[in-house]
Amino acid sequence: MRSVDEYIAGLPEDRQVIINLVRKILAENVPGLEEKLSFKIPFYHYFGMFIYINSTKQGIDLAFCRGKDLLNEFPQLELKNRAMATTVCIRNKKDIDALQVRQMIVVAAAWNKEARRLKIPIVKKRNSAAGRSPNRKY
């Protein structure tokens, strides 16, 4: 099984630099963070699913699993067509400060911890009847 380090080593050097800077910020600001490779990308757990990092054509996407809850404070996050996760694309080292990556991580970690305490699910379960088509017989 590949490790996060092996994933990063397989990326171009400029991407490795960005991801390693983000990993350093995570390690310094989120005590007890669990890092592992899930879905073939670096995934971080902190009081549940927290953040994942994905190399894309545009740059390094930093995705916040409860990101929809962070949009008011961090409008630079993009929801796209997802229910809850939001991303910010980091194209170079300067973007880390310009996009407030450290602040987003700190706020997201505090919210993940609080949401766990309050037992708020990441995505609300749908009512099974709500998803049924009125014309369909079950």
Q: Note the pLDDT tens digit of each residue in 47-92.
A: 999 999 999 999 999 999 999 999 999 999 999 999 999 999 999 9
pLDDT score for 2: 81
What residues does each domain of the chain span?
4-117
Residue 98 has pLDDT above 70, yes or no: yes
- Only one residue has tokens 């993940």, namely 112
| pLDDT: which is higher, 73 or 130 | 73
CA distance 84 to 111: 14
- Only one residue has tokens 């609080």, namely 114
Report whether CATH 3.30.310.50 matches the domain 4-117: no
| Predicted model pTM | 0.87
Burial bucket for residue 42 (CB in 10 Å: 0-12, 13-18, 19+): buried
Mean of the per-residue pLDDT values of the chain: 91
Task: At 37, list the tokens.
Answer: 């490779």
| pLDDT: which is higher, 125 or 32 | 32
Phi first, then psi: give them for residue 113, nearest 5 degrees.
Answer: -65, -45
Half-sphere exposure for 51 (CA within 13 Å, toward CB): 29
pLDDT score for 122: 86
Q: What is the mean pLDDT of residues 11-28?
A: 97
pLDDT score for 123: 77
